[in-house]
Amino acid sequence: MNRETFYITTPIYYPSDKLHIGHSYTTIAADTISRFKRMKGFDVKFLTGTDEHGQKIQRKAEEEGTTPKEYVDHIVEGIKKLWETLDISNDQFIRTTDEFHKEAVKKIFKKLYDQGDIYKSHYEGWYCTPCESFWTEAQLKDGKCPDCERNVELTEEEAYFFKMSKYQDRLMKHIEDHPDFIQPQKIKNEMINNFLKPGLEDLCVSRTSFSWGVPVDFDPGHVVYVWIDALSNYITALGYLSDNDEEYKKYWPADVHLVGKDIARFHTIIWPTMLMALDIPLPKKVFGHGWILLQGGKMSKSKGNVVDPVILTQKYGVDAIRYYVLRELPFGSDGIYSEDNLINRINSDLANDLGNLISRTVAMVDKYFNGQLPGKQESGEFDDDLISLALETPIKAEKYIDNLQFSNALVEIWKLVSRTNKYIDETTPWILAKEEEKKSRLATVLYNLLESIRFISILITPFMPNTPKAIWEQIGIEEGDITTWDSLEEFGQYPITSKVQKGKVIFPRIDIEEGERPKKKQKEKKVEEKNQEEYITIEDFAKIDFRTAKVLKAEKVEGADKLIKMQLEMGNEIRQVVSGIAQFYSPEELVGKNLIVVANLKPIKIRGEESKGMILAASKGKKLTLVTIEEDMDSGTKIS
């Protein structure tokens, strides 16, 4: 049976020995979805590579007294190594200097020329004679060459142009008919409003001012200029226009081109119009992700050392880095990188939440049952809640990963991690262990914990390919049928014949003062820790159910000067809340007010009166004022 295919690409990278953590984002994200799709049984092709031609490379090689090819060879090796270090599972690595690619690009150029979609004309630009470079008006620095800062002249050069304008209407229609083609929406709007609506211009696709590129073989002196060469890699890698185009037939059109927002235009305008001219289908989706920024600005070569992915993986481990970039960058938006942030994530999400869950569970199974459980025996309170969340999580995570919302998928998975930790606090296994007759309940509790850990380990596999193996070793299972994504359809597959094995701490806590980081004084650290404790997460905040409520009735509580009891209308419900505001408001004043109530506060009795919730007020010294709603809102409306 033919399996469904999934073809995903990253951009091909410019050869630079300073690829930073931001560059790694695209590749880690593409790797994650590739791993997930493979787990789901797809026949995946994941392509990445390098974009090696152009004047810059030619000039750098000249400066180093070497050939451009020799110059890039060495850098490309470094890039391949980087992807190995980050456990990137690409199926192919294409170089635009690969012979098969160059041959196919020549044919593409010729085909477009022969059918009249490429024509010869003149390119006008600002020319810097010493640098032998053309610049556009926008690239100039104070009207001078951005490289050497010398004067430039407006010059003309003979060049070939691609009739991009001819495909404008067809492209607009395609975008309208395929709402998922450009994502996220923000990028789609930008492309339509900034480029398509004002009208597309024809595109200059050859150069004569440098020679390091794919030659235009029917016109010596011209080389193919960047985009036809670079973008074509997505089809030349599959053998398009070659003797063997089996892969092209199998995988094209691509399911996703994952690109940074800075190159979204090339992928959503130039590339589709080229494909239309070649009369081949367009990719199903182009997703333009946000950037990882440094506090205080963009990442750059000079700041490279602080964000060098190799150094970061050596310090913190590959899976931690992968987790961090995917968790930190929300769907389609920019995220800010800081090492403190990274360490906080490692310490809280990985060491505290996940690592502790595993070590606590394994230690208890070891202590109370010598490492092997007698199986599930006695169900009890909290089990259903845990099990239903475990079964829901893969469905939610799957949807998010498919929509490239990695951060949201991780949030869902971590809800299960937190729920499992909470289950330990709720069921208190250490108390159950004290009484012999509770042993059967204890066995079930620990079974549910190990099974939830099995769930979590599978869910994180696409994101963190190494950690699951370490977890499986500790909970005593091996990769196989019970570690597949499909096995998440049923809770209770952890084999009772398994024996846990205490092992190394999965994510050790990082001391914030470790390594090259500047030492902070003890006192400062304490203050910092305290401040951090004072933060709550968005999940903490989401636990509070704030509601609007209308005061229907209010009266003083007998025998208590300060208390007023109120009947509040909250949607269909009427509830009583007692509050210490009698010195500030009379009961009459309160009736009719629209207040805000913490609706899910545990009910208590005050002076024998039940109080279900708390109203919000600002108070300082002898002043107090109630928080009210300005506009008339339905009572019971949720506040977020």
| Residue number, 226 or 390, with CB nearest to ligand MSP | 226
Is residue 283 classed as helix, strand or coil in its secondary structure?
A: coil
- Total residues contacting ligand MSP (rule CB under 6 A)? 18
Task: Verify binding: residue 292, ligand MSP, rule CB under 6 A.
Answer: yes
First and final C-alpha spacing in the chain: 50
Nearer Cβ to ligand MSP (28/564): 28
Helix 68-85 × helix 309-316 angle, to 10°? 20
Of the residues 54, 68, 213, 260, which one makes contact with ligand MSP according to CB under 6 A: 260
Q: Please report how close the Cβ of residue 442 comes to ligand MSP at its closest, in angstroms.
A: 48
The 3-state DSSP class for residue 390 equals: helix
Nearer to ligand MSP, 27 or 611 (CB): 27
Strand ranges for 14-132 from DSSP E: 43-50, 92-95, 118-128
The torsion angles phi and psi of 625, rounded to 5 degrees, stand at -135, 140
Q: Is position 299 an interface residue for ligand MSP (rule: CB under 6 A)? A: yes
Our CB check for ligand MSP shows the closer of 404 and 488 to be 404
Phi-psi region of 638 (alpha: psi -120 to 50; beta: other; left: phi over 0): beta
Alpha-helical (H) ranges within 89-217 are 99-114, 168-177, 185-190
The answer to the question of residue 259 lying near ligand MSP (CB under 6 A) is yes
Cβ atoms < 10 Å from Cβ of 406: 29
The Cα 377–Cα 426 span in angstroms is: 18
d(CA 52, CA 36): 30
Residue 498's SS3 state is: coil
Closest to ligand MSP by CB, 9 or 548: 9
Scanning 17-25, 75-83, 162-170, 246-254 for contacts with ligand MSP by CB under 6 A, the matching segment is 17-25
**Position closest to ligand MSP via CB:** 260
**Would you give the binding string for ligand MSP spanning residues 206-245, x where CB under 6 A is met?**
------------------------xx--------------
- What distances in angstroms separate CA 246 from CA 141, 233, 237, one per listed residue? 48, 16, 11
Helix (H) or strand (E) holding 75: helix 68-85
Residue span binding ligand MSP (CB under 6 A) among the ranges 10-18, 429-437, 545-553, 557-565: 10-18
Distance CA 206, CA 213 (A): 10
Q: Does 262 bind ligand MSP (CB under 6 A)?
A: yes
According to the binding rule CB under 6 A, does residue 453 interact with ligand MSP?
no
The DSSP H or E segment spanning 337 is strand 335-337
Of 197-205, 259-267, 347-355, 381-389: span binding ligand MSP (CB under 6 A): 259-267
According to the binding rule CB under 6 A, does residue 125 interact with ligand MSP?
A: no
**CA–CA separation, 125 and 133 (whole Å):** 9
Please identify which residue in 26, 32, 55, 359 interacts with ligand MSP, judged by CB under 6 A: 26
Instruction: Select the residue interacting with ligand MSP from 7, 13, 123, 160 (CB under 6 A).
Output: 13
Look-up of token digits 């007010």: 593
State in angstroms the smallest separation of the CB of 46 from ligand MSP. Answer: 15
**DSSP per-residue string spanning 356-378:** HHHHHHHHHHHHHHTT-------
Residue range at the interface with ligand MSP (CB under 6 A); choices 21-29, 385-393, 527-535, 553-561: 21-29
Please choose, out of 257-265, 462-470, 561-569, 614-622, the segment that lies near ligand MSP by the rule CB under 6 A: 257-265
Which stretch, 19-27, 79-87, 403-411, 543-551, contacts ligand MSP (CB under 6 A)? 19-27
**Residue nearer to ligand MSP on the CB measure, 175 or 231:** 231
Q: How far is the CB of 221 from ligand MSP (least distance, A)?
A: 24
Report how far residue 12's alpha carbon sits from residue 94's, in angstroms, rounded to the nearest whole number. Answer: 8
User: What value, to the nearest 5°, has the Cα angle with vertex 385 and ends 379 and 387?
Assistant: 70
Report the interhelical angle of 21-39 vs 383-402 (nearest 10°).
Answer: 110
Binding mask 41-60 for ligand MSP (x = CB under 6 A): ----------x---------
At 120, list the tokens: 């010869």
Nearer to ligand MSP, 42 or 100 (CB): 100
**Interface positions, 569-588, toward ligand MSP (CB under 6 A):** none
Burial class (CB in 10 A: 0-12, 13-18, 19+), 56: middle
Cα-only R_g, the chain:
31
331 binds ligand MSP (CB under 6 A): no
Q: At closest approach, how far in Å is the CB of 226 from ligand MSP?
A: 8
Stretch that binds ligand MSP, among 131-139, 256-264, 475-483, 589-597 (CB under 6 A): 256-264
**SS (HEC) of 276-299:** HHHCCCCCCCEEEECCEEECCECC
d(CA 437, CA 333): 54
Which residue from 248, 291, 382, 584 is in contact with ligand MSP, where contact means CB under 6 A? Answer: 291
Residues sharing a CB contact under 8 Å with residue 199, sequence separation 6 or more, in sequence order: 165, 168
Question: Which listed range, 8-16, 61-69, 107-115, 548-556, lies at the site for ligand MSP (CB under 6 A)?
Answer: 8-16
Classify 403 as helix, strand or coil: coil
Question: Could you say which DSSP state residue 167 is in?
Answer: G
Site track 589-628 with ligand MSP (rule: CB under 6 A), x = hit: ----------------------------------------
475 binds ligand MSP (CB under 6 A): no
Q: 596 — phi, psi (to 5°)?
A: -115, 130
Tell me the per-residue interface mask from 479 to 498 with ligand MSP, x by CB under 6 A, - otherwise: --------------------
The binding site for ligand MSP (CB under 6 A) comprises: 11-14, 22-23, 25-26, 51, 230-231, 259-260, 262-263, 291-292, 299
